[in-house]
Every structure is written in C-alpha cells, then in structure tokens.
Amino acid sequence: MSRGVLVVVSGFSGAGKGTVMKRLLEKYDNYALSISVTTRKPRPGEEDGREYFFRTKEEFEKFIEEDALIEYAQYVENYYGTPRFYVEEQLAAGKDVILEIEIQGAMKVKERNPEAVLVFVTPPTVEELKRRLTERGTETPEVIAERLARASEEAEGMHHYDYLLINDVLEECVDDLHQIIQSEHARSWRNKEFISRIQEESRQFK
C-alpha cells in the first residue's frame, strides 16, 4: 500500500475552512483530519478531542520539549500545534492526512516535508471574510479586528502555496479540493515502485 498524501490547508480565519473540511470528510473516504493541540479556550459547542485537544500553556510546552509536535505556532496570543503520532500513523496506513493550520506552521511543514501539498482557501472577497467572521458571533470585536489584521499578513504569503482554492460555492470547493489531492496521487515521483515494475516487465519485449 502506498503512503498517503500530507495535505496542508490554510486560509483566513472566517474563510470557511472548517466547513470545507467537515464536508470533505463526510463526502469522501480515505481522509484523516489531524486534531491539533491548542492553549485557546473552547468556543461554545467545541469539545476536547473533537475540534482540538485543549491544553494549558504548561502542558503545551511539555509537548514541545518531548518533540511530540510536527510544528507549532503562536496565533493571536495562543499556541497551536500538530501532534506527530496520529499524522505518521495515518500516512503509513495510506490515508491522506489533512492539517488545517496557519501559515507559519504550513511553511515549517513544507520545509521538513517537501512532498506535502499546500492549499490556501480564501473567500472571493475580503468584504465577505469580514461578514463571515462577524456573523459567526463567537469572537469579540477586538479579536475580530486582530484576526482581520492577521489575514492581511497571511495574504502576503499566499503565493507560497501550491494551490489556491476559492470558497464561494461550498460543494464546488469541496470537490475541487478532492480533485487536487487525487491528482497528487498520480504524480510520477509518488509512484516510483509502480514505474520500476512496469519498466522491469516491459524489458522482456526488448
């Protein structure tokens, strides 16, 4: 069985990434979504071990010391990190693993895993972004302002991503993401063993 594809999805806060991921997992098999550790407090309706592993700063620092995180970053006063164990296990089992992380973490993952595929999700306009963040109603106006400021910083790094995904119509966005990941499986450098076998077999006709 071949190793799964490591997919990093980033996007502005409020770009609808969470909804896209949820739908992708409902609609297609073979995806595993990594659950991050964070020091942020749970939002109403969020559960420990489902959206995130909610931990204290001390606990988070212990994970760093133990090298238990693939990457971590600070985002608007909180730490977020990707636990290593689950990602490795799922990739080895042939699952395509999705990390939904911000840009600093995405760049670290790409540096250490050049085979990872980086996708940036954006709403069609910045106005739409502001509207979505405000309508979600889970953040204070100050936090919304900080997140919009952060969006402007992240926009500077969009060109480092392999693919850009515009989240306008949800179902289309989900199918496009699925297609991108599926195409990655067909890349010749991901199929070295298959190529060797075909080359070997075809030599008999020389």
Is 50 or 185 the residue whose CB approaches ligand 5GP more closely? 50
- Closest approach, Cβ 168 to ligand 5GP, in A, equals 20
- Closest approach, Cβ 81 to ligand 5GP, in A, equals 5
What residues from 55 to 84 belong to the interface with ligand 5GP (CB under 6 A)?
71-73, 75, 80-82
User: 3-state DSSP call for residue 125?
Assistant: coil
Cβ-proximal residue to ligand 5GP, closest one = 105
Binds ligand 5GP (CB under 6 A): choice among 20, 32, 87, 101: 101
Q: Identify whether the C-beta of residue 72 lies closer than 8 Å to the C-beta of residue 64.
A: yes
Binds ligand 5GP (CB under 6 A): choice among 16, 87, 95, 100: 100
Binds ligand 5GP (CB under 6 A): choice among 23, 105, 118, 121: 105
Binds ligand 5GP (CB under 6 A): choice among 5, 21, 102, 122: 102
Give the number of other Cβ atoms within 10 Å of residue 173's Cβ.
21
Is 132 or 190 the residue whose CB approaches ligand 5GP more closely? 132
Give the span between the Cα atoms of 116 and 6, in whole angstroms: 5
Q: Which helix (H) or strand (E) holds 182?
A: helix 170-185
**Residue 116: partners with Cβ closer than 8 Å, 6 or more residues away:** 5, 6, 7, 8, 109, 110
**Residue 106: partners with Cβ closer than 8 Å, 6 or more residues away:** 8, 10, 99, 118, 160, 161
Q: Which residues bind ligand 5GP (CB under 6 A)?
A: 13, 36, 40, 71-73, 75, 80-82, 100-102, 104-105
